[in-house]
Structure 1
Amino acid sequence: MSVNCLRISVTDRCNQRCVYCRPRGDGDFLARAQILRAEEILRLVRLFAECGIDRVRLTGGEPLVRRDVIPLVAGLAGADGIREVALTTNGVLLEAMAADLKAAGLSRVNVSLDSLHARSYGRITGRENLSQVLRGVRRALAVGLQPVKINAVILRRLNASQILDLAALSLDLPVIVRFIEYCPTSCRTEPAEGYMPYAEIRGIVENTFGRLTETVVVPGNGPAAYFQIDRGARDPWPGSGDLWPVARDPRHGSRGTGYGIIGFIAGRSMVFCSSCNRLRLTSDGLIKPCLYSARPYDVKALLREGASDDRIRALLRAIIAQKAGLSRLNASREDFCMRKVGG
């Protein structure tokens, strides 16, 4: 698998406190001087593009809290060799920013949405802004940031009961819903007992919606496996989310207009190292060939000591070449915080 995707964490700051990412007591935010500046990110992406990277995804923390994120998107979208700029967001600020992001050159968005029930959403995120996030999803659809993918991390004691509601959302709105296995980390997150494996989540969906048919979703080319819900089984689940009428606003899609496509990212129960096509750049300038890499590479130090393009490019090529030999077997355990490495 060729390495052509770069995930860039543009900030470690976030306006939510999700239990699987940023629990209380997870430490201070980085000082602004420690964060890569926009011009540093753009320089690195230009050099990465010369090494074969053609897709960029912005993450956080929450990328939309970064003040210069829209001009940064514009710079990335205009970079030679970059075919796509995408973004993963919690959706809180998306309604207000979607149009400007699209105009700047953003291709599409993934929105973290772990529940359609206000109470459990609040327990997971520490905030009460579910309706705001749903408005952001609809706004993203309206301005053409498509496909919109909904990312739902499933936690046994918090939102496992809403798996069917989330699956049904793929039928109500033209979005792709992806169920993500919870990854416990060293950052005082939800206990490992909250983990639900892919097979169990899929079984819950199939018990109501019938057998899922494997399908292909091209944009992203990542680790998710995608499936089509049988179109003849569109109405077995009415949906019981607190804000279901909001989600099913007829101006933005109703039962029968959604794709009916769901995905699964089985980061713990399955190993997809051989098909991984991405590198990670943390907000403080570390390159991680793998989420579980024990040894990141400090490229910020090179940038700020005045290293030449040739020197940095040589490092990037060496990192890309090294990635081919990586696997979970020779990487570290979950010794990181998601908000610091870009999830």
Structure 2
Amino acid sequence: MLTDPFGRQITYLRISVTDRCNFRCVYCMPPQGVPHVPHERIMRYEEIAAFVQVAARQGIRKVRLTGGEPLVRADIPRLVEMISAIEGIEDISLTTNGILLEKYAGALAQAGLKRVNVSLDTLNAEKFACITRGGELEKVLRGIAAAEAYGLTPIKINTVIMRGINDDELVDLAKLTLSHPWNLRFIELMPIENQRPWGEGFPPPEDIFMPVSEVMDILQPLGLHPVELSGDSGPAIPYRLVGGVGTVGFISPLTEQHFCQRCNRIRLTADGHLRPCLMSDAEIPILPALRAGEPVLPLLQEAVNKKPVSHQLAYHISPNGRCMIQIGG
């Protein structure tokens, strides 16, 4: 088993398969965009699968594919199929903005994908287009319906909390779980290269952060009841509304004192760097070793050994080497 210096067992690998996206979400990338990594520096599917094989032998059991937007990468179901066939991998999932999900849900399910997380920060089509800089809400909703139809469940809905942007919709978003068996999670905004102005119509970044505690206060009149944590809860603390068929979860990386103590994950960027902590710039390159036929297990062990006890946001230390789209979240 992979165990970090603080006794946490690392069983979860998040893999960014591309730094490209068909959205330009205001909290994920700067208005001017980011320079794309040249194609030859992006990990090939065979290289990703080879690394997952090594990781699975060391106790990695859960894999999540991210981006950028993973569905813009050509033939992504093939990678799902390759990873699903690796001995030891018990769960493979995918995080998506949902815009292409209607097209690919069937092929992904057939390839072995278990479930999806879909980003949904608003139920207002005009606001959705502003936040995503051009996305179409209706296509995302159709994508969620397609994922349900093909059994990519339970569906998780990721909502980033933004004061002055979507805080007026928190109740309506939570109420989705009254009629849908979705696990909706409210996520605190993380300061990862998004603290410069977001553009016309948006509040200053320093005014946008809203803690989970305020969201819970707003939702209390709906009747929030704690739900027992499951092995699939991840960092979310789940609740259920009275009469709800789904759950409402809260992810508080900035305000929860013990958030990092439950961390069981490590990340692999699209250009082949292991990232021990989302909110630290520390990275270990593995692609040169893979392409040279050299062992990558020592590099995986190095990355696990470099996991910090927690992030340093309380000391105003945040990552500035990459924005979220370049990491994979």
Answer whether TM exceeds 0.5 for this pair: yes
Deviation of 1:151 (Å): 0.4
Question: Which sections of structure 2, spanning at least 5 residues, go unmatched?
Answer: 1-7, 199-204
Q: What is the TM-score with the length of structure 2 in the denominator?
A: 0.90
Question: Which sections of structure 1, spanning at least 5 residues, go unmatched?
Answer: 232-257
- Which amino acid in structure 1 is aligned with residue 53 of structure 2? R
* Whole-Å separation in 1 of the counterparts to 2:83 and 2:29: 28
Deviation of 1:216 (Å): 3.0
1:96-127 Cα deviation digits (max 9, x unpaired)? 11011000000000000001111111111112
Partner SS state of residue 105, structure 2: helix
* Whole-Å separation in 2 of the counterparts to 1:339 and 1:74: 24
Aligned match of 1:63 in 65, 70, 74?
70
* Whole-Å separation in 1 of the counterparts to 2:282 and 2:120: 31
Q: What is the TM-score with the length of structure 1 in the denominator?
A: 0.87
Q: What are the equivalent positions in structure 2 for 1:118-157 lying under 5 Å apart? A: 118-157=125-164
Residues 317/128 of structure 1: CA separation in 2 closer, same or farther (3 Å cut): closer
Deviation of 1:260 (Å): 3.6
Deviation of 1:81 (Å): 0.7
Q: Does 1:9 align with 2:16?
A: yes
More helix by share: 1
* Whole-Å separation in 2 of the counterparts to 1:43 and 1:189: 41
Number of positions where the alignment pairs a residue of Structure 1 with one of Structure 2: 311
Q: What are the equivalent positions in structure 2 for 1:70-89 lying under 5 Å apart? A: 70-89=77-96
Match of 2:30 in 1: 23
* Whole-Å separation in 1 of the counterparts to 2:312 and 2:168: 33
- Which amino acid in structure 1 is aligned with residue 263 of structure 2? C
Tell whether the 8 Å contact from 1:8 to 1:283 is kept in structure 2 after alignment. yes
* Whole-Å separation in 2 of the counterparts to 1:135 and 1:189: 32
Q: Does 1:197 align with 2:181?
A: no
Q: Does 1:35 align with 2:60?
A: no
- Which amino acid in structure 2 is aligned with residue 334 of structure 1? P
Deviation of 1:152 (Å): 0.5
Match of 2:201 in 1: none
Moved over 6 A (4+): none
Match of 1:218 in 2: 230
* Whole-Å separation in 1 of the counterparts to 2:309 and 2:48: 25
Q: Report percent identity of matched pairs.
A: 43
Q: What are the equivalent positions in structure 2 for 1:190-339 lying under 5 Å apart? A: 190=198, 191-206=205-220, 208-210=221-223, 212-216=224-228, 218=230, 220-231=232-243, 259-271=245-257, 272-307=259-294, 311-323=295-307, 325-329=308-312, 333-335=318-320, 336-339=322-325
* Whole-Å separation in 2 of the counterparts to 1:65 and 1:189: 27
Tell whether the 8 Å contact from 2:237 to 2:251 is kept in structure 1 after alignment. yes
1:142-195 Cα deviation digits (max 9, x unpaired)? 111010000001111211111111101111212111101111222546413211
Tell whether the 8 Å contact from 2:29 to 2:324 is kept in structure 1 after alignment. yes
Deviation of 1:304 (Å): 2.0
CA RMSD of aligned residues (A): 1.7
